Protein backbone atom coordinates (compact mmCIF):
# COMPACT_ATOMS: atom_id res chain seq x y z
CA UNK A 1 0.00 0.00 0.00
CA UNK A 2 1.37 3.40 -0.89
CA UNK A 3 1.98 5.78 1.97
CA UNK A 4 1.60 9.48 1.36
CA UNK A 5 -0.31 12.38 2.82
CA UNK A 6 -3.73 12.89 1.28
CA UNK A 7 -4.40 16.58 0.69
CA UNK A 8 -8.04 17.60 0.43
CA UNK A 9 -9.02 21.09 -0.69
CA UNK A 10 -10.32 23.30 2.14
CA UNK A 11 -9.73 20.58 4.72
CA UNK A 12 -7.03 20.82 7.36
CA UNK A 13 -6.43 17.17 8.15
CA UNK A 14 -4.44 18.09 11.24
CA UNK A 15 -7.54 19.48 12.95
CA UNK A 16 -9.80 16.48 12.32
CA UNK A 17 -11.06 15.04 15.59
CA UNK A 18 -10.82 11.30 16.13
CA UNK A 19 -13.59 9.91 18.32
CA UNK A 20 -13.00 7.37 21.04
CA UNK A 21 -15.13 4.23 20.99
CA UNK A 22 -17.04 5.35 24.08
CA UNK A 23 -17.79 8.71 22.41
CA UNK A 24 -19.05 6.99 19.27
CA UNK A 25 -21.30 4.71 21.27
CA UNK A 26 -22.93 7.69 22.95
CA UNK A 27 -23.33 9.55 19.67
CA UNK A 28 -24.93 6.52 18.02
CA UNK A 29 -27.43 6.28 20.85
CA UNK A 30 -28.30 9.96 20.39
CA UNK A 31 -28.52 9.67 16.60
CA UNK A 32 -30.69 6.58 16.71
CA UNK A 33 -32.91 8.41 19.20
CA UNK A 34 -33.44 11.17 16.62
CA UNK A 35 -30.60 13.62 17.26
CA UNK A 36 -29.47 14.65 13.75
CA UNK A 37 -26.53 16.68 15.06
CA UNK A 38 -25.04 13.46 16.45
CA UNK A 39 -24.84 12.10 12.90
CA UNK A 40 -22.76 15.08 11.78
CA UNK A 41 -20.41 14.57 14.73
CA UNK A 42 -20.03 10.90 13.81
CA UNK A 43 -19.18 11.80 10.21
CA UNK A 44 -16.66 14.48 11.21
CA UNK A 45 -15.14 12.18 13.81
CA UNK A 46 -14.46 9.45 11.23
CA UNK A 47 -13.11 11.46 8.30
CA UNK A 48 -9.61 10.14 8.98
CA UNK A 49 -10.93 6.66 8.23
CA UNK A 50 -11.87 7.89 4.74
CA UNK A 51 -8.47 9.54 4.35
CA UNK A 52 -6.66 6.35 5.36
CA UNK A 53 -8.56 4.42 2.68
CA UNK A 54 -7.70 7.01 0.01
CA UNK A 55 -4.02 6.12 0.48
CA UNK A 56 -4.75 2.92 -1.44
CA UNK A 57 -5.49 4.90 -4.58
CA UNK A 58 -2.93 6.54 -6.87
CA UNK A 59 -3.17 10.30 -6.36
CA UNK A 60 -1.55 10.83 -9.77
CA UNK A 61 -4.45 9.09 -11.52
CA UNK A 62 -7.43 10.22 -9.47
CA UNK A 63 -8.76 13.48 -8.11
CA UNK A 64 -8.49 13.01 -4.34
CA UNK A 65 -11.13 15.67 -3.66
CA UNK A 66 -13.67 13.71 -5.72
CA UNK A 67 -12.74 10.37 -4.15
CA UNK A 68 -12.93 11.92 -0.69
CA UNK A 69 -16.48 13.16 -1.31
CA UNK A 70 -17.50 9.74 -2.59
CA UNK A 71 -15.80 8.08 0.39
CA UNK A 72 -17.80 10.29 2.77
CA UNK A 73 -20.97 9.03 1.07
CA UNK A 74 -19.90 5.47 1.91
CA UNK A 75 -19.14 6.53 5.49
CA UNK A 76 -22.57 8.17 5.79
CA UNK A 77 -24.30 5.02 4.56
CA UNK A 78 -22.37 3.00 7.12
CA UNK A 79 -23.43 5.34 9.94
CA UNK A 80 -27.07 5.24 8.78
CA UNK A 81 -27.13 1.44 8.84
CA UNK A 82 -24.81 0.72 11.77
CA UNK A 83 -26.26 -1.09 14.78
CA UNK A 84 -24.49 -1.16 18.13
CA UNK A 85 -25.74 -4.71 18.62
CA UNK A 86 -23.35 -5.81 15.82
CA UNK A 87 -20.64 -5.89 18.50
CA UNK A 88 -17.99 -4.60 16.12
CA UNK A 89 -16.22 -1.33 15.44
CA UNK A 90 -17.69 1.17 13.02
CA UNK A 91 -14.44 1.13 11.04
CA UNK A 92 -14.79 -2.62 10.44
CA UNK A 93 -18.30 -2.16 9.13
CA UNK A 94 -17.64 1.07 7.22
CA UNK A 95 -14.43 0.19 5.33
CA UNK A 96 -16.06 -2.13 2.73
CA UNK A 97 -18.82 0.42 2.12
CA UNK A 98 -16.35 3.28 1.66
CA UNK A 99 -14.11 1.24 -0.65
CA UNK A 100 -17.16 0.01 -2.57
CA UNK A 101 -18.44 3.55 -3.19
CA UNK A 102 -15.03 4.72 -4.38
CA UNK A 103 -14.50 1.76 -6.72
CA UNK A 104 -18.01 2.13 -8.11
CA UNK A 105 -17.34 5.81 -8.81
CA UNK A 106 -14.08 4.96 -10.59
CA UNK A 107 -15.76 2.25 -12.67
CA UNK A 108 -18.62 4.53 -13.70
CA UNK A 109 -16.25 7.29 -14.72
CA UNK A 110 -13.88 5.31 -16.92
CA UNK A 111 -13.04 7.17 -20.16
CA UNK A 112 -14.02 4.11 -22.23
CA UNK A 113 -17.74 3.67 -22.76
CA UNK A 114 -18.98 0.20 -21.90
CA UNK A 115 -22.59 -0.89 -22.41
CA UNK A 116 -24.78 -0.68 -19.32
CA UNK A 117 -25.77 -4.36 -19.61
CA UNK A 118 -22.12 -5.52 -19.47
CA UNK A 119 -21.42 -3.28 -16.46
CA UNK A 120 -24.56 -4.52 -14.70
CA UNK A 121 -23.45 -8.11 -15.27
CA UNK A 122 -20.01 -7.29 -13.87
CA UNK A 123 -21.58 -5.80 -10.74
CA UNK A 124 -23.78 -8.91 -10.32
CA UNK A 125 -20.69 -11.12 -10.56
CA UNK A 126 -18.78 -9.02 -8.02
CA UNK A 127 -21.74 -8.98 -5.62
CA UNK A 128 -22.16 -12.76 -5.86
CA UNK A 129 -18.43 -13.35 -5.34
CA UNK A 130 -18.41 -11.11 -2.26
CA UNK A 131 -21.46 -12.82 -0.74
CA UNK A 132 -20.06 -16.27 -1.51
CA UNK A 133 -16.67 -15.40 -0.02
CA UNK A 134 -18.29 -13.97 3.11
CA UNK A 135 -20.45 -17.06 3.58
CA UNK A 136 -17.99 -19.84 2.68
CA UNK A 137 -14.57 -18.25 3.08
CA UNK A 138 -13.46 -19.06 -0.49
CA UNK A 139 -14.17 -17.57 -3.90
CA UNK A 140 -16.66 -19.35 -6.19
CA UNK A 141 -15.43 -20.95 -9.39
CA UNK A 142 -16.44 -19.51 -12.75
CA UNK A 143 -18.58 -22.59 -13.27
CA UNK A 144 -20.54 -21.88 -10.07
CA UNK A 145 -20.99 -18.20 -10.97
CA UNK A 146 -22.15 -19.04 -14.48
CA UNK A 147 -24.69 -21.54 -13.17
CA UNK A 148 -26.19 -19.15 -10.60
CA UNK A 149 -26.36 -16.17 -12.98
CA UNK A 150 -27.42 -18.30 -15.98
CA UNK A 151 -24.59 -17.09 -18.22
CA UNK A 152 -21.73 -18.67 -20.17
CA UNK A 153 -18.40 -18.90 -18.35
CA UNK A 154 -16.58 -16.83 -20.98
CA UNK A 155 -18.89 -13.87 -20.20
CA UNK A 156 -17.54 -13.61 -16.65
CA UNK A 157 -14.04 -12.48 -17.55
CA UNK A 158 -15.16 -10.22 -20.37
CA UNK A 159 -17.66 -8.50 -18.05
CA UNK A 160 -15.05 -8.02 -15.31
CA UNK A 161 -12.48 -6.80 -17.83
CA UNK A 162 -14.91 -4.03 -18.79
CA UNK A 163 -14.42 -2.48 -15.35
CA UNK A 164 -10.64 -2.30 -15.59
CA UNK A 165 -9.10 1.11 -16.00
CA UNK A 166 -7.57 1.58 -19.45
CA UNK A 167 -3.82 2.11 -19.72
CA UNK A 168 -2.46 5.17 -21.46
CA UNK A 169 -0.50 4.48 -24.64
CA UNK A 170 2.11 6.83 -23.19
CA UNK A 171 2.54 4.65 -20.10
CA UNK A 172 6.29 4.01 -19.58
CA UNK A 173 6.93 0.26 -19.52
CA UNK A 174 10.73 0.11 -19.48
CA UNK A 175 13.67 2.33 -18.64
CA UNK A 176 17.22 1.08 -18.22
CA UNK A 177 18.64 4.52 -17.55
CA UNK A 178 18.55 5.53 -21.18
CA UNK A 179 15.59 6.21 -23.44
CA UNK A 180 12.22 5.31 -21.98
CA UNK A 181 10.10 2.77 -23.86
CA UNK A 182 6.40 3.56 -23.85
CA UNK A 183 3.44 1.27 -24.51
CA UNK A 184 2.92 3.09 -27.80
CA UNK A 185 6.32 1.87 -28.98
CA UNK A 186 5.22 -1.73 -28.48
CA UNK A 187 1.83 -1.53 -30.17
CA UNK A 188 2.72 0.71 -33.09
CA UNK A 189 3.17 -1.38 -36.24
CA UNK A 190 5.07 0.85 -38.61
CA UNK A 191 4.78 -1.74 -41.40
CA UNK A 192 1.02 -1.29 -41.38
CA UNK A 193 0.94 2.51 -41.58
CA UNK A 194 0.29 2.41 -45.33
CA UNK A 195 -2.26 -0.38 -45.21
CA UNK A 196 -5.20 -0.02 -47.56
CA UNK A 197 -8.03 1.85 -45.81
CA UNK A 198 -10.66 -0.21 -47.64
CA UNK A 199 -9.13 -3.41 -46.27
CA UNK A 200 -9.29 -2.06 -42.70
CA UNK A 201 -12.95 -1.17 -43.15
CA UNK A 202 -13.71 -4.61 -44.60
CA UNK A 203 -11.86 -6.31 -41.76
CA UNK A 204 -13.77 -4.33 -39.15
CA UNK A 205 -17.09 -5.19 -40.77
CA UNK A 206 -16.17 -8.87 -41.00
CA UNK A 207 -15.16 -9.07 -37.33
CA UNK A 208 -18.44 -7.42 -36.29
CA UNK A 209 -20.41 -10.14 -38.13
CA UNK A 210 -18.81 -13.27 -36.64
CA UNK A 211 -20.03 -14.91 -33.44
CA UNK A 212 -19.42 -13.00 -30.23
CA UNK A 213 -17.27 -15.74 -28.73
CA UNK A 214 -15.09 -15.90 -31.85
CA UNK A 215 -14.77 -12.11 -31.88
CA UNK A 216 -13.77 -12.04 -28.20
CA UNK A 217 -11.11 -14.70 -28.74
CA UNK A 218 -9.63 -12.79 -31.68
CA UNK A 219 -9.53 -9.58 -29.64
CA UNK A 220 -7.90 -11.36 -26.72
CA UNK A 221 -5.31 -13.04 -28.94
CA UNK A 222 -4.34 -10.33 -31.43
CA UNK A 223 -5.18 -7.05 -29.69
CA UNK A 224 -4.79 -7.73 -25.99
CA UNK A 225 -2.01 -10.25 -26.68
CA UNK A 226 -3.10 -13.17 -24.52
CA UNK A 227 -1.90 -16.70 -25.21
CA UNK A 228 -4.31 -19.51 -25.99
CA UNK A 229 -3.61 -21.00 -22.56
CA UNK A 230 -4.45 -17.72 -20.83
CA UNK A 231 -7.69 -17.43 -22.76
CA UNK A 232 -8.55 -21.06 -22.01
CA UNK A 233 -8.03 -20.48 -18.31
CA UNK A 234 -10.17 -17.34 -18.26
CA UNK A 235 -13.00 -19.05 -20.19
CA UNK A 236 -12.82 -22.32 -18.30
CA UNK A 237 -12.25 -24.40 -21.44
CA UNK A 238 -9.32 -26.32 -22.91
CA UNK A 239 -6.51 -24.84 -24.99
CA UNK A 240 -7.59 -27.09 -27.85
CA UNK A 241 -11.08 -25.56 -27.79
CA UNK A 242 -9.61 -22.06 -27.89
CA UNK A 243 -7.47 -23.11 -30.86
CA UNK A 244 -10.54 -24.38 -32.71
CA UNK A 245 -12.52 -21.20 -31.95
CA UNK A 246 -9.61 -19.07 -33.15
CA UNK A 247 -9.21 -21.10 -36.33
CA UNK A 248 -12.92 -20.90 -37.13
CA UNK A 249 -12.94 -17.17 -36.39
CA UNK A 250 -10.08 -16.50 -38.79
CA UNK A 251 -11.71 -18.64 -41.49
CA UNK A 252 -15.02 -16.80 -41.08
CA UNK A 253 -13.32 -13.39 -41.24
CA UNK A 254 -11.46 -14.38 -44.43
CA UNK A 255 -14.71 -15.66 -45.96
CA UNK A 256 -16.56 -12.43 -45.14
CA UNK A 257 -13.77 -10.21 -46.54
CA UNK A 258 -13.73 -11.99 -49.92
Q: pLDDT by residue (tens digit) across 156-207?
A: 887 887 776 665 555 565 665 555 665 555 554 555 544 555 666 777 788 8
**Are 124 and 99 in the same domain?**
no
**Are 161 and 182 in the same domain?**
no
Residue 224: which CATH number? 1.10.10.10
Q: Is 190 left (phi over 0), alpha (psi -120 to 50) or beta?
A: alpha
Residue 57 lies in a domain: yes
Residue 46 lies in a domain: yes
Q: Which domain holds residue 29?
A: 1-109
Q: What is the pLDDT of residue 30?
A: 92
Q: What is the pLDDT of residue 145?
A: 92
**Are 117 and 105 in the same domain?**
no
**Are 130 and 159 in the same domain?**
yes
Angle, vertex CA 159, rays to CA 157 and CA 161, nearest 5: 65
**Are 78 and 147 in the same domain?**
no
Q: Which residues contact 106 (CB under 8 A, 6 or more apart)?
A: 62, 67, 165
**Are 191 and 253 in the same domain?**
yes
Residue 67: which CATH number? 1.20.120.1810
Residue 248 lies in a domain: yes
Q: What is the pLDDT of residue 2?
A: 39
Of 52-61, 75-84, 230-239, 243-252, the range with the lowest mean pLDDT is 52-61
Q: What is the pLDDT of residue 180?
A: 61
Q: What is the pLDDT of residue 172?
A: 64
Q: Which residues contact 47 (CB under 8 A, 6 or more apart)?
A: 11, 16, 72, 75
**Are 25 and 62 in the same domain?**
yes
Q: pLDDT for 24-82, tens place per residue? A: 889 999 988 889 899 999 999 999 899 989 888 866 677 888 889 999 999 999 999 88
**Are 12 and 96 in the same domain?**
yes
Last residue of a domain, one of 128, 145, 166: 166
The pLDDT confidence band at residue 89, using thresholds 50, 70 and 90, is confident
**Are 250 and 157 in the same domain?**
no
Q: What is the pLDDT of residue 184?
A: 54
Distance CA 38, CA 59 (A): 32
Last residue of a domain, one of 73, 91, 109: 109
Q: Is the pLDDT of residue 3 over 60?
A: no
**Are 122 and 42 in the same domain?**
no
Question: How many structural domains compose the chain?
Answer: 3
Q: What is the pLDDT of residue 41?
A: 92
Residue 43 lies in a domain: yes
Q: Is the pLDDT of residue 235 over 70?
A: yes
Q: Which residues contact 232 (CB under 8 A, 6 or more apart)?
A: 238, 239, 241, 242
Whether the model clears a pTM of 0.75, i.e. scores above it, the answer is no
Q: What is the pLDDT of residue 1?
A: 36
Residue 231 lies in a domain: yes
**Are 233 and 221 in the same domain?**
yes
Residue 172 lies in a domain: no
Last residue of a domain, one of 89, 109, 129: 109
Distance CA 128, CA 124 (A): 6
Q: Is the pLDDT of residue 233 over 50?
A: yes
**Are 105 and 120 in the same domain?**
no
Question: Chain-wide mean pLDDT for the chain?
Answer: 80
The H-or-E segment that residue 204 falls in is helix 197-209
Q: What is the pLDDT of residue 5?
A: 55
DSSP 80: H
- Mean pLDDT, residues 197-223 taken together: 81
Residue 236 lies in a domain: yes
Residue 125 lies in a domain: yes
Q: pLDDT for 126-156, tens place per residue? A: 889 888 888 888 889 989 999 999 988 888 8
Amino acid sequence: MSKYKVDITNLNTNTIKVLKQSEMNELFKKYQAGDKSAKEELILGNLKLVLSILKRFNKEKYNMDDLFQVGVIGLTKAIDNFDLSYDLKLSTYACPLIVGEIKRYIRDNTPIRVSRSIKDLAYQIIKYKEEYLKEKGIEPTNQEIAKVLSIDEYQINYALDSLKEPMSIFEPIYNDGGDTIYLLDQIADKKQLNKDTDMLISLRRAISKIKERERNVLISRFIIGKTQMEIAESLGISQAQVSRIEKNAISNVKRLIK
